[in-house]
């Protein structure tokens, strides 16, 4: 299996209930809901993306890619190693061989996914972030992190699903302040939802 990787970097998990945890991010190229080209954004199935996932480096096998992830771990200390596999849409490329190779190097493996593609088993943490107008196939996991607000994706549409944590993440962009206020008010009225802020953006991290 050849993997196309946009970037590999160490940072803090900036989102969700594991926010603040040290991690190596493995960002795959490509997404099934947007080409990544600005000219296509207006007609894409997901139009609010904050990420550049176009193009990248090829890795010919899982071992060499897992070696690159391990080389990016920022500490001598190998305790609490976490790899966060994202993109783009990692469901297009993440497979059993890569998960096993990361596990052999001592990493717990987390994924950030739009939930429209089946995932391999053996993941240690699954975060699904549903997109309006798409069909969810990943209906269980550790956290459901809904970017808010989205016309056609109301929080109550997801409350029956089998997730441990439910978060609203204000949609970043020109309306971020208003979206944050709306998400906060929704959480106050419906406390099964917690507010998730993008820590890395306020800290100026990647
Ligand atoms: C760039 S996506 C990559 C993973 C996967 N394709 C997905 O959508 O979950 C990573 C996370 O950023 C969130 N995100 C993308 N654009 C955002 C924005 N403008 N404001 C807030 N969160 C955003 C996504 O919903 C997802 O939870
Ligand atoms: N620091 C940091 N935390 C993140 N959590 C999820 C991210 C993503 O783009 O998937 C992300 C990201 O891009 N940076
Ligand atoms: S599904 Fe994820 S990577 Fe794809 S365009 Fe939407 S937010 Fe970006
Ligand atoms: Mg990001």
Establish whether this prediction's ipTM goes over 0.90.
Answer: yes
Token pair, residue 182, equals 């709306």
Q: Is the dihedral of CA 42, 136, 192, 124 positive or negative?
A: negative
User: pLDDT-derived band of residue 182, with 50, 70 and 90 as boundaries?
Assistant: very high
Residue in this structure with the two tokens 């690159």, named with its chain if needed: 68
Sort strands 193-195 and 108-113 into parallel, antiparallel or unpaired. unpaired
Q: Which domains does the chain have, with CATH numbers?
A: 3-203 (3.20.20.70)
- For the CA atoms of 199, 201, 204, 206, the dihedral, rounded to the nearest 10 degrees, stands at 90
Answer whether 86 contacts ligand 1 (Cβ < 6 A). yes
pLDDT above 90 for 81: yes
User: pLDDT-derived band of residue 162, with 50, 70 and 90 as boundaries?
Assistant: very high
Tell me which ligand sits closest to the C-alpha of residue 169.
1
Q: Is 169 annotated in some ligand binding site?
A: yes
Name the residue with the closest Cα to ligand 2, atom 1: 14
pLDDT per position as a tens digit, 36-54:
999 999 999 999 999 999 9
What is the number of the ligand 2 atom nearest to the C-alpha of 205? Answer: 1
Mean pLDDT of 106-132: 99
48 neighbors 171 (Cβ within 8 angstroms): yes
Q: Is 27 annotated in some ligand binding site?
A: yes
Return d(Cα 27, Cα 85) in angstroms, integer: 6
CA 79 / ligand 4 centre spacing (Å): 24
Substitution candidate for ligand 1 out of 49, 125, 170 with most atoms within 8 A of CB: 49
pLDDT above 90 for 192: yes
Residue 77 has a pLDDT of 93
Residue in this structure with the two tokens 């947007």, named with its chain if needed: 34
Residue 86 has a pLDDT of 99
Q: Is the dihedral of CA 166, 160, 142, 126 positive or negative?
A: negative
pLDDT per position as a tens digit, 90-103:
999 999 999 999 99
What is the number of the ligand 3 atom nearest to the C-alpha of 86? Answer: 3
CA 68 / ligand 4 centre spacing (Å): 20
Q: How many residues does the chain have?
A: 206
For the full predicted model, state whether its pTM sits above 0.90.
yes
Mean pLDDT of 9-16: 98
Token pair, residue 132, equals 């309006």
pLDDT above 90 for 179: yes
pLDDT above 90 for 58: yes
User: pLDDT-derived band of residue 1, with 50, 70 and 90 as boundaries?
Assistant: confident
Q: Is 1 annotated in some ligand binding site?
A: no
Return d(Cα 69, Cα 199) in angstroms, integer: 22
Tell me which ligand sits closest to the C-alpha of residue 16.
2
């Amino acid at each position: 299996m050849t993997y196309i990787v946009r970037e590999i970097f160490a940072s803090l998990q900036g989102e969700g209930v594991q926010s603040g945890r040290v991690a190596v991010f493995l960002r795959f190229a490509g997404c099934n809901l947007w080409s990544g080209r600005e000219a296509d954004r207006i007609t894409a199935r997901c139009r609010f993306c904050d990420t550049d996932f176009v193009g990248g480096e090829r890795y010919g096998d899982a071992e060499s890619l897992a070696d690159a992830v391990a080389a990016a771990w920022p500490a001598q200390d190998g305790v609490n190693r976490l790899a966060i596999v994202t993109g783009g849409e990692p469901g297009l490329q993440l497979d059993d061989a890569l998960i096993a190779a990361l596990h052999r190097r001592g990493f717990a493996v987390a994924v950030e996914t739009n939930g429209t593609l089946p995932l391999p088993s053996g993941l240690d943490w699954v975060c699904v972030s549903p997109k309006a107008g798409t069909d969810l196939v990943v209906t269980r996991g550790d956290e459901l992190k809904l970017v808010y607000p989205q016309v056609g994706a109301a929080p109550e549409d997801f409350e029956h699903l089998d997730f441990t944590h439910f978060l609203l993440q204000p949609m970043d962009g020109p309306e971020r302040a208003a979206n944050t206020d709306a998400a906060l008010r929704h959480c106050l009225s419906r406390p099964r939802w917690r507010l998730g802020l993008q820590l890395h953006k306020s800290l100026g991290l990647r």
